[in-house]
Amino acid sequence: MYLEIIRDAAFYRVLFAIDQDLAEETRREGCPFCGGALHYAKYPRVGRGGPDGLPGELRQRLGLCCGRPGCRRRVLPPSCLFHGRRWHWGAVVLVAMTLLQQRTSGWNVDRLMGKLGISASRTTLVRWLRYFRASFPSSAWWQRIRGRVGAEVGDAGLPGSLVAHFERATGDPARGLVASLRFLALGGHPPPGRHA
C-alpha cells in the first residue's frame, strides 16, 4: 500500500500544495532576522525514488530570501517534500524505513531496493536505518515535536511508529503518510533566529 502511494504523482501534488501553504505562511511572517519582506527563491531538487515524469514544478524546494539590503538572509520554510539535504523524496525515505521496521511484513533491504527502483544503494538504506535508530530520537528535530504526539509513538520504532500513529488517527494510509510528513516538516525547519 505505502509503495503504491509513493508511486502516485497525485500524492506529490498534494505535498507540494502543502509546501506552498507552509512557505506562504512563513513569507507573511517576514524575515526572522530583520523583519524585512521575504521573497520567493526556488531551488531545484533531484527528488529520487518517486514516480517517473513528475513535473519540474514539484521538484523544487521552496525557499525565501530577505529583500532588505544588508540582510538578504535565506529562510527555508518547512517542507513535506524534502527533508534535510537528502536527494530522495522525504516520503520515500519515510516509507522505506517504515517497511523495514515492520518485521512481520517480510521486507528487507535487498527486496526493498528491487521494489523501490531507487538509486539508493544498500549503504544508503543502512545509513538511513542507523540514523533513525541512533540519532533521530535524540535529535533537536524530533525533540521539538515529540510532545505533540502521545507516548504510543515509541522512540525505538521511529519513524514507523509515527506513521502508524497518523494512519490510526486519519483512518487512511495515504492521509496518514501526508500527516506524518507535515508533522515532521514542522519539526525539521524551525524559523531561524527564534530557536536555539
Cα dihedral 98→104→105→109 (10° resolution): 60
Q: Does 71 bind Zn ion (CB under 5 A)?
A: yes
CB of 39 to Zn ion, least distance (A): 11
For Zn ion, which is the closer residue by CB, 5 or 37?
37
Report the site for Zn ion in 114-133 (rule: CB under 5 A): none
CB of 77 to Zn ion, least distance (A): 15
For Zn ion, which is the closer residue by CB, 66 or 116?
66
**Paired sense of beta strands 60-66 and 38-44, if any:** antiparallel
Segment interacting with Zn ion (CB under 5 A) among 27-35, 50-58, 145-153, 158-166 = 27-35
CA distance 63 to 81: 13
For Zn ion, which is the closer residue by CB, 68 or 144?
68
Q: Does 66 bind Zn ion (CB under 5 A)?
A: yes
Element (H or E) spanning 129, and its range?
helix 122-130
For residue 73, give Cα distances in angstroms to 39, 43, 44, 63, 193.
Answer: 11, 15, 19, 11, 11
Compute how many residues bind Zn ion; rule: CB under 5 A.
7
For Zn ion, which is the closer residue by CB, 15 or 38?
38
Show the binding pattern over residues 28-57: x = contacts Zn ion (CB under 5 A), - = does not: ---x-xx-x---------------------
CB of 73 to Zn ion, least distance (A): 5
CA atoms 49, 177, 105, 155: torsion sign: positive
CA distance 107 to 88: 19
Strand order in the sheet with 38-44: 38-44, 60-66, 74-75
For Zn ion, which is the closer residue by CB, 74 or 148?
74
CB of 189 to Zn ion, least distance (A): 17
Is 93 exposed, middle or buried, given 0-12, 13-18 or 19+ CB atoms closer than 10 A?
Answer: buried
Q: Does 63 bind Zn ion (CB under 5 A)?
A: no
* C-alpha cell recorded at residue 81: 517534500
CB of 35 to Zn ion, least distance (A): 7
For Zn ion, the binding residues (CB under 5 A) are 31, 33-34, 36, 66, 68, 71
